[in-house]
């Protein structure tokens, strides 16, 4: 079922595709909706600064606010393309899958990912969510949270065991988080999936503890051991610095 807000968006889509200022009658014909509904929606879009009336008051055109939104969307798309290119180059240099992640509630969400060319790999698409306590990126985010927020999150977080090496003891996890802060990177030693290792580094923010994203390397331990993955930290950090510049 389409919500009222989505119907407003659909009307905007239809009118922008029109390619020129449009009248109420043209909006009704293009949308197929009743006149009172279309009239009300056009009034809402006009009052919200997304549409404006041309001189004479009979035709509507995109307002500056809507044009700014379109420009911002195009800029974000360009940034996403550059971001993906950085990950693609990182994978070409390292030879294993790499991803960009962010903290989402009590989980880690994949914002972008480039898979290795090897047939043996774990394919994870953007939008995939993984646990925070047993993933390298998740532990990195936890480590950089303000102490009160970290404590509150850990207090209500079930430390579910996924493999034999998953940390399920809160004190042991806390000790590792402190170590992550000191060393500047986090690892996943087959803690989420058997046979997979991961190393994550922060994408620098404005402050020392401001870590909104992470760059991570993930590989089958049969092909790359954790010590070998740790040797790639300089490359991961270089990519993270580049991504930080793109985001500013």
* Chain segment 31-40, per-residue pLDDT in tens: 889 999 999 9
User: 3-class DSSP state for residue 62?
Assistant: strand
Dihedral angle sign, alpha carbons of residues 160, 164, 165, 170: positive
Top-confidence residue, 121 or 107: 107
* Chain segment 140-196, per-residue pLDDT in tens: 999 998 888 888 888 888 999 999 999 999 999 999 999 999 999 999 999 999 999
What secondary structure, in 3-state letters, does 96-155 show? Answer: CEEEEEEEECCEEEEEEEECCCCCCCCCCCCCCEEECCCCHHHHHHHHHCCHHHHHHHHH
> What's residue 189's pLDDT?
96
Distance CA 110, CA 133 (A): 15
Domain range summary for the chain, segments of one domain joined by +: 4-62, 76-247
Asked whether the domain spanning 76-247 has the same topology as the one spanning 4-62, the reply is no
User: 3-class DSSP state for residue 187?
Assistant: strand
Topology adopted by domain 76-247: Beta-Lactamase (3.30.450)
- Percentage, residues of the chain above pLDDT 90: 51
- Percentage, residues of the chain above pLDDT 70: 91
Provide the b/e sequence for 170-203 (b: ≥16 CB within 10 Å): eeebbebbeebeeeebbbbbbbbbeebbbbbbbb
CB 95 within 8 A of CB 218: no
Class of domain 4-62: mainly alpha
* Chain segment 205-247, per-residue pLDDT in tens: 765 567 879 999 999 999 999 999 999 999 999 999 999 887 6
129 - beta bridge partners? 109
């Amino acid at each position: 079922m389409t919500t009222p807000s989505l119907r407003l968006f659909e009307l905007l889509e239809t009118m922008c595709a029109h390619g020129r200022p449009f009248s109420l009658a043209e909006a009704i014909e293009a949308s197929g909706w009743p006149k009172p509904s279309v009239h009300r929606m056009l009034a809402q879009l006009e009052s919200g600064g997304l549409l404006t009336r041309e001189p004479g008051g009979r035709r509507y055109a995109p307002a500056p606010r809507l044009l700014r939104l379109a420009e911002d969307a195009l800029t974000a798309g360009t940034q996403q393309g550059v971001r993906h290119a950085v990950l693609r180059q990182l994978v070409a240099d390292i030879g294993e899958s790499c991803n960009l992640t962010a903290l989402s509630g009590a989980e880690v969400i994949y914002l972008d990912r480039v898979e290795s060319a090897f047939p043996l790999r774990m394919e994870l698409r953007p939008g995939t969510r993984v646990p925070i306590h047993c993933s390298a990126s998740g532990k990195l985010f936890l480590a950089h949270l303000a102490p009160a927020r970290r404590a509150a999150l850990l207090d209500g977080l079930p430390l579910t065991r996924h493999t034999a090496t998953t940390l399920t003891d809160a004190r042991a996890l806390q000790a590792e988080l402190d170590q992550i802060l000191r060393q500047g990177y986090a690892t996943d030693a087959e803690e989420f999936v058997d046979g997979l290792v991961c190393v994550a580094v922060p994408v620098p923010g404005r402050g020392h503890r401001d870590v909104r994203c992470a760059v991570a390397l993930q590989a089958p331990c049969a092909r790359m051991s954790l010590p070998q993955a740790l040797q790639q930290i300089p490359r991961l950090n270089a990519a993270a610095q580049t991504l930080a510049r793109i985001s500013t």
